[in-house]
Amino acid sequence: MQFSGSIFSTRVHGLKFMTELTYRSAGVDLELYEQAMQKLPRLMQRTFTPGVMELPGGFAGLFRLNGVKPWKDPVLVSGTDGVGTKIKVAIQAQKFDTIGIDLVGMCVNDVLCLGAMPLFFLDYIAMGKDNPALLEQLVSGVSDGCQQAKSALLGGETAIMPDLYASGDFDMAGFSVGVVERDELVDGRTRIQSGDVLIGISSSGFHSNGYSLIRKVVFEHAGLTFADHVAELNCTVAEALLRPTRIYAGTIAAAIEAAGNANIHGIAHITGGGIADNFERILPKHIHASIHRDAWKPPQLFDWLQRLGTIAEKEMFSVFNMGIGMIVCVPPDVADRVLVACSTTECPAFRLGEIRSQDAADPTVTVA
């Protein structure tokens, strides 16, 4: 008998049977994959903005810049990122509805640092096995994040790779595109000057950085479980570790509206490496930034982790945002307006410090 395609044989009680290989036998179920794909369009459509040109079944997404507003000399601003080993926490806790928000936040917050308006977002999700329910939760989080960022979820890719990921494992990456007028680019290095004031905007927690250390401290060193209640935080371990990254699109827009674009001299997203390393990235030569440690009190979440792992304060400030998710640099005459614009009752902003000139060419930052 003839068989089409590749075949393998098995022997049962001395009889040899020929079985045709399929994609499903290799670990990819196309019917299940299609079932998963059918759940995604509504999660995308709820994020669509006027610039989106719908193209059902297309191989790529379409976006009209002039669908947003007329531009004179637009510059596209792009950023890509993932969420690191925070994914491992989501997998172990079996809670998947917020990790997509983290993904959007890590990408969009970088784009905001150039003064750009987020336009659209793409995601990439790799899984070891088709899982429509899991995929829907992950993309639902991405969709929620895009709504917070006022950014359209324009498309994405789901890859099923059983030889690379174990069943239940997954990874995510994101890609954000924004736009800004060329003469309104906020790059820090051409605007920041002596006398400027630093405004710190609150984070929502660890965001998506330092989770290799967090997991080691919480689970290996302290022996806690996800279900354990942390009295001082009034939540479980899972809730503490999976607080989604704050997305600053609305806050930065409010700061620009309050001060005017020309008065936003620099914006820094505080991620891995902490406050000093990230803010130094946008400083021009011969500039020193003094950040006063007593200007704000890090949230209890950071105190809890530090005590739990007996982590040195220097290490904490080198790894975590310590309660400051973004820093905006402005002239002193607009500092109070920006402080008010960036503050809410739950998430206040702080006057962190100031900029001064220095003889040394390389920019420096002190947190003391």
Q: Can you give the pLDDT at residue 161?
A: 93
Ordered by start, the domain boundaries in the chain are: 30-54+62-184, 197-367
Q: Longest Cα pair distance anywhere in the chain, in angstroms?
A: 90
Give the helix ranges, DSSP H, for 25-76: 30-37, 41-45
Distance in angstroms (rounded) separating the CA atoms of residues 322 and 299 = 7
Q: Comparing C-alpha atoms, which of 186, 188, 193 is closest to residue 286?
A: 193
Q: Can you give the pLDDT at residue 27?
A: 77
Please say whether the beta carbons of 209 and 321 come within 8 A. yes
Q: Can you give the pLDDT at residue 35?
A: 74
Q: Can you give the pLDDT at residue 22?
A: 80
Q: Can you give the pLDDT at residue 142?
A: 98
What residues pair up with 181 in beta bridges, in sequence order?
74
Distance in angstroms (rounded) separating the CA atoms of residues 356 and 194 = 4
Please say whether the beta carbons of 93 and 242 come within 8 A. yes
Q: Can you give the pLDDT at residue 19?
A: 63
Based on the number of CB atoms within 10 Å of its own CB, is 9 exposed (0-12), middle (13-18) or buried (19 or more)?
A: exposed
CB within 8 A of 2, min separation 6: which ones? Answer: none
Q: What is the dihedral of CA 204, 206, 208, 212, to 10 degrees?
A: -170
CATH number for the domain whose boundaries are 30-54+62-184: 3.30.1330.10
What residues pair up with 12 in beta bridges, in sequence order?
15
Order across the sheet with 349-357: list the strands: 266-269, 324-330, 197-202, 349-357, 287-291, 364-367
Second CATH level (architecture) for the domain 197-367:
Alpha-Beta Complex (3.90)
Q: Can you give the pLDDT at residue 23?
A: 76
Distance in angstroms (rounded) separating the CA atoms of residues 49 and 187 = 27
pLDDT along the chain (368 residues), means of 10: 40 58 78 77 95 91 95 98 97 97 98 98 95 94 98 95 91 98 97 98 98 98 97 97 98 98 98 97 98 97 98 97 98 98 94 98 97
Q: Can you give the pLDDT at residue 32?
A: 76
Angle among Cα 238, 240, 241 to the nearest 5 degrees reads 65
Please say whether the beta carbons of 105 and 208 come within 8 A. yes
Q: Can you give the pLDDT at residue 12?
A: 52
Q: Comparing C-alpha atoms, which of 251, 212, 118 is closest to residue 174?
A: 118
Which SS3 state, helix, strand or coil, does residue 344 take?
Answer: coil
